[in-house]
């Protein structure tokens, strides 16, 4: 039976939306994507989390900074409180169940907030050094800058590379991560590009968008999704 993967969605003007790149990347690895709404109460979240084999936390807009104890920065973009609340709650539930989580871009950031970390509201204004172009003007599938991968990390096990190119579409980024998690990829300017759990079977947050590179046959992106789905299958067997 193909694994069922919950996919988080944007809520814009009372309409749910999610990039088809996410759906295509999952169906290409024989997974069944299930797009999740953002207005579920905890009883519903507990029920649906028990039925999922894994969670893909997708990209999107900015995150409410009051969730990590800060006032809104002048460059803060559009936020969606309903999405923030839903994603934090379902992430926490999936972590308790030790079910696989792949969190992409905004997803990487909200994953870190859910586990008690914090983030840069605007890297260009808040980072202490000159930065690369992290909001590329190139097509979404184009790999625009390098990331350096920690040699003994899950991400290295997946890609078998200590350095490779990724795409980039963000102005926010993970800053401090809590105990039990560690950075596994950095860009050359010091921005955290990926982090992972050291206590869960598969929890990986990545700042770039591998789903947009899969259809261009980028082997690292394909490996990320294939390994995620295999972890979901193994979780089902274990349960």
Whole-number Å distance between alpha carbons of 79 and 138: 25
pLDDT (0 to 100) of residue 97: 97
Total H helices, total E strands in the chain: 7, 13
What is the fold of 4-238? Rossmann fold (3.40.50)
pLDDT (0 to 100) of residue 11: 85
Task: Going residue by residue through the chain, which has 239 residues, state the pLDDT in tens, using 9 for 90 and above.
Answer: 899 999 999 988 888 899 999 999 999 999 999 999 997 789 999 999 999 999 999 999 999 999 999 999 999 999 999 999 999 999 999 999 999 999 999 999 999 999 999 999 999 999 888 999 999 999 999 999 999 999 999 999 999 999 999 999 999 999 999 999 999 999 999 999 999 999 999 999 999 999 999 989 999 999 999 999 999 999 876 65
Whole-number Å distance between alpha carbons of 45 and 26: 22
> What pTM did the predictor assign?
0.96
Q: Which of 228, 229, 224 is nearest to 213 (CA)?
A: 224
Rounded to a whole number of angstroms, the CA Rg of the chain reads: 16
pLDDT (0 to 100) of residue 233: 94
pLDDT (0 to 100) of residue 239: 58
Whole-number Å distance between alpha carbons of 192 and 197: 15
For the chain, domain boundaries: 4-238
Percent helix, strand, coil in the chain (nearest 5)?
35, 25, 40
């Amino acid at each position: 039976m193909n694994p069922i993967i919950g996919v988080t969605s944007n809520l814009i003007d009372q309409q749910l939306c999610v990039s088809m790149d996410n759906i295509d990347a999952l169906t290409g690895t024989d997974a069944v994507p299930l797009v999740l709404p953002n207005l579920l109460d905890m009883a519903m979240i507990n029920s649906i989390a028990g039925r999922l084999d894994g969670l893909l936390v997708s990209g999107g807009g900015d995150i409410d900074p009051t969730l990590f104890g800060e006032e809104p920065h002048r460059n803060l973009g559009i936020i969606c409180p309903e999405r923030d609340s839903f994603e934090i709650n379902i992430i926490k539930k999936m972590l308790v169940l030790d079910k696989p989580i792949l969190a992409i871009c905004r997803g990487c950031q909200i994953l870190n907030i859910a586990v008690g970390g914090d983030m840069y509201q605007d890297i260009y204004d808040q980072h202490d050094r000159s930065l690369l172009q992290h909001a590329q003007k190139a097509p979404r599938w184009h790999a625009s800058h390098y990331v350096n991968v920690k040699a003994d990390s899950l991400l290295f096990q997946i890609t078998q590379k200590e350095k490779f190119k990724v795409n980039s579409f963000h102005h926010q980024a993970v800053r401090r991560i809590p105990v039990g998690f560690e950075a596994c990829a950095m860009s050359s300017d010091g921005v955290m590009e990926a982090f992972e759990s050291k206590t869960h079977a598969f929890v990986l947050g990545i700042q770039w968008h591998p789903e947009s590179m899969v259809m261009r046959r980028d082997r690292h992106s394909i490996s990320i999704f294939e390994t995620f789905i295999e972890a979901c299958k193994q979780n089902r067997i274990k349960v």
